[in-house]
Chain A
Amino acid sequence: MSTVERCAVNTTGSGDEAIVFLHGYGCDSNMWRKVAPYFAKDSRVVTYDLMGYGKSETTHYDMARYATLDGHADDLIAILDELQLKDVVAVGHSVSAMTIGLAATRRPDLIGKLAMICPSPSYANDNSYVGGFERSDLVGLLNVLDVNYLGWAQEMAPQIMGAADRPELGHELTDSFCQTDPDIAKHFARVTFLSDHRNDVKAIAQPTLVLQCKDDILVPPSVWTWLTENMQDVELTVLDATGHCPHMSYPEETIKVLADFVRPRINI
């Protein structure tokens, strides 16, 4: 099975340029539903579900392969190779901003530009670096996932017990946004929130946009400042907005900033 099939890759639009969108921790490629169609008007648009999420073939979720973001970066590289795309614009939300960075450094031929939406190279505070969280807060998230697993189990129980007479349950599950196997969710949470990618982002040579909400509980201003001071070719845009998902909450504003970055208007 190809990576394109495993990760439920969806390609729309046509054009010389290609844009690939990677969703962040917690949800799936549905997150892009208000942003991606805009670009499909004159570009090839690729969206997919990270392994373990959405409609991906979760049986391929190998805890060792995905113990670091490199596994996900390998998937992105494989998908672009399989689709024979080069010099694309990679858009990564949250943790996937780090994934596109890893892939861009390893295969500069594949990725020409990067757009990072609400990125954080490290969530944990470390001496003078203020990531915004203590390690104990991040470990606490694993507990929140654990107790809410029980609710998930309740929803999943008929599914697990094989409710052959209620096939609609299967659809409900695959259609249910932000639902995933709790073990995968916990594993990916650990990878997302307990990793430190500060050295990796310093290595990115391609032009990079950092799009940030002004009031993002996950990413304090100290993180954007650190990124602008430490990345090679970075441009920061801060939306006067709240939350961690501007592509969902403020799709028009997000489209505008992304479009300007993808195709800069020439001012005469």
Chain B
Amino acid sequence: MSDRFECLTDFDQWPCGLAVMDASGQLEKTNAFLRQWLGMDAAEQGGGVRFVDILSRAGRIYFETHLRPLLLVNGHFSEVSLELERPDGTRVAVFMNGRATLSKGRMVSAHFSMFRNEQRQAFEHELVAKRRESEAFKVLVGSSPYAIMSVRMDGTIRAWNPAAEQLFGYSEAEVIGQKFDEILVPPDDRKGLGDDLRRITSGETVRSETERLHKDGHRVQVERSIAAIHDVTQEYSGFVATYSDISARKASEAHIQTLLQEVNHRSKNLIAVVQVIARQTARMYEGSEFFSAFSKRLASLTSNQDTLLNSRGNHADLETLARSQFAHLVTPEDPRITVSGPAVQMNEATSQAIGMALFELATNAAKYGGLSKDTGSVTLSWVVVPGPDPKLEISWVESGGPPVSAPERMGFGSQVTGPILQGITSGETQREFHPDGFRWFFRAALAKMTE
């Protein structure tokens, strides 16, 4: 062997850094490349510099906590990425291999070889950054309130986040490897998928509102966003889809639509009622009297609307409604008026009709009946008659007023306390011109008025 190969000795010619550390940790020998990297001259060789002193501070900790123990136990380490530090603080990135010479478990010396790896280390730092980025991305997907899934080119599901479990009912384990369309897309919607795929492969992000299937079979209204993903060769490799649950929004949109239609309907009704009031009032009154009576009747209508709105829905409380019909005539504490009965919640049509009727009765009583004199009175009361089909019975009894007699013709008051009210409630009304005062009775099935 020795005839054919010479032993290498010219270490300074080697394109790598070489160093020897002695038993006490001092830098014993270095080659020219290492000294050049570190900006040391040959005279500095050895001179009281520890091996760890040529490492960055972080590298020193790593050496003492990982590499020295490795040398002592395994006798070597390899491919460790470290930074050397020059006295001026600038650094040189290297890969380092180390080998220890041990004697009776003690390190007699250690040899180190180093290759500069700036470019590779820059790449490694990039990889580390990518790794951190992908960790951050993983957290983002895992914690997102949106259902996110990744689908392979063949349509099988590759990833499925917790929000998707929530929205569609399937656990990740259940869907991984399953066909995306078979799991989620309603059968009648599957033909649209080809078009979606063409659009996303051309680089478009497809967004739309649609329906997807829940595990239990019901349809979930969702807003979706789909975009293609590409592999390392930039070839299409599948897509990612994001879904948000829009059923609450859809429900509220539908509610708004219903409300709009209802407002429209109610307005038309109200105008029709106002037309009736105007026509009937005009038969009885003229000039300034007409205006006063008409205004009061409109005020009663307004008060009905308030009662309806204040009950926060479309049901009104009978007592509140009844009391409000006297508001334009007398003070609320007027002792001549007695109102009593159990709580009854009436629907819109009924409360409007009953409100109008009571308004006419109250107005009539104030003008000609029980409320036209200080000694008079009005007792308004109602009961619910139980049974298989419970009935509401209202009675209006006046007394102490002037003598009464049946009117000659049917005015608006008679209309709203009679035929109109009967038509709306399918009930019965009865008028009685009793010697003590006017009386009015109403009876109808409770169910129709409250539902």
Binds A, one of B72-80, B302-310, B438-446: B72-80
**Contact partners of A149 in chain B: CB under 8 A:** 128
Give residues of chain A (135-172) contacting chain B, Cβ–Cβ below 8 Å: 137-141, 143-151
**Looking at chain B's contact residues, is the secondary structure mostly helix, strand, loop, or mixed?**
helix
Instruction: For chain A, give the interface size range.
Output: 35 or more
Given A26-B66, A177-B69, A249-B106, are A138 and B52 neighbors across the interface (CB < 8 Å)? no
Q: Inside 8 A of B80's CB, which chain A residues have their CB?
A: 148, 151
Q: Considering the complex, give the chain A residue whose CB is closest to the CB of B128.
A: A146
Contact B128 A25 (CB under 8 A): no
Stretch at the interface among B119-127, B270-278, B384-392: B119-127
Asked if B70 and A178 sit within 8 Å, CB to CB, the answer is: yes
Residues of chain A within 8 A (CB-CB) of B106 are 249-250
The answer to whether B58 touches A137, judged by C-beta atoms less than 8 angstroms apart, is: yes
Cβ–Cβ contact A218 & B68, under 8 A? no
A86 interfacial by beta-carbon distance below 8 Å? no
Question: In the complex, which residues of chain B have a beta carbon less than 8 angstroms from the beta carbon of A251?
Answer: 105
| Min distance, Cβ B139 to any Cβ of chain A, angstroms | 13
Q: How many Å lie between the Cα of A200 and that of B422 in the bound state?
A: 88
B125 touches which of A30, A147, A218, A243 (Cβ 8 Å): A147
The answer to whether A138 and B58 touch across the interface, beta carbons within 8 angstroms, is yes
User: Is B358 at the interface (CB under 8 A from chain A)?
Assistant: no
Which B residues are in CB contact (< 8 Å) with A151?
79-81
Q: Is B24 an interface residue (CB 8 A)?
A: yes
- B60 / chain A contacts, CB cutoff of 8 Å: 217-218
Hey, which chain B residues are within 8 Å of A138, CB to CB?
A: 58, 61
For the complex, is B142 an interface residue (Cβ under 8 Å from A)?
A: no
Q: From B53, which residue of chain A is reached at the shortest CB distance?
A: A217
By the criterion CB–CB under 8 Å, are B69 and A144 in contact?
no
CB distance from B89 to the nearest CB of A (A): 12
A215 close to B25 (CB less than 8 A):
yes
Q: How far is the CA of A26 from the CA of B61 in the complex (A)?
A: 10
Q: Which B residues lie within 8 Å of A30 (CB)?
A: 73
A242–B24 CB distance below 8 A: yes
Please indicate the chain B residues that have their CB under 8 angstroms from the CB of A147 in the complex.
Answer: 81, 121, 124-125, 128
Q: Which residues of A contact B83 (CB under 8 A)?
A: 144
Query: Closest CB of chain B to A253's CB: distance in Å?
Result: 11
Residues of A within 8 A of B74 (CB): 177
Q: A244 near B: Cβ within 8 Å?
A: yes
Query: Which residues of B in the span 6-62 have a Cβ within 8 Å of any Cβ on A?
Result: 24-25, 50, 52, 56-62
Is the CB of B82 closer than 8 A to any CB of chain A? yes
A133 within 8 A of B: yes
In Å, the complex CA distance between A141 and B65 comes to 11
Asked if B66 and A27 make an inter-chain contact with CB atoms under 8 angstroms apart, the answer reads yes
Q: Which residue of B lies closest to A241 (CB)?
A: B24
A31 contacts the other chain (CB 8 A):
yes
Closest to B52 in A: A217
Closest to B68 in A: A243
Q: Tell me how far the C-beta of B143 lies from the nearest C-beta in chain A, rounded to whole angstroms.
A: 16
- 15 A-B interface contacts by CB (under 8 A): A26-B66, A31-B69, A133-B61, A138-B58, A143-B58, A147-B81, A148-B62, A150-B124, A151-B79, A178-B69, A217-B63, A242-B24, A248-B73, A249-B68, A249-B107
Top 3 closest pairs, chain A to chain B, by CB: A140-B58, A26-B65, A137-B57
B residues adjacent to A (C-beta < 8 A):
24-25, 50, 52, 56-66, 68-70, 72-74, 79-83, 105-107, 121, 124-125, 127-128, 131
- Known: A151-B81, A178-B66, A218-B64; 18 extra A-B contacts, CB below 8 A, are A24-B65, A25-B65, A26-B69, A137-B57, A138-B61, A143-B58, A143-B128, A178-B69, A217-B50, A217-B52, A217-B64, A218-B60, A243-B68, A245-B64, A245-B69, A245-B72, A248-B72, A249-B72
* Chain A residues engaging chain B, CB cutoff 8 angstroms: 24-27, 30-31, 34, 94, 133-134, 137-141, 143-151, 177-178, 193, 215-218, 242-245, 248-251
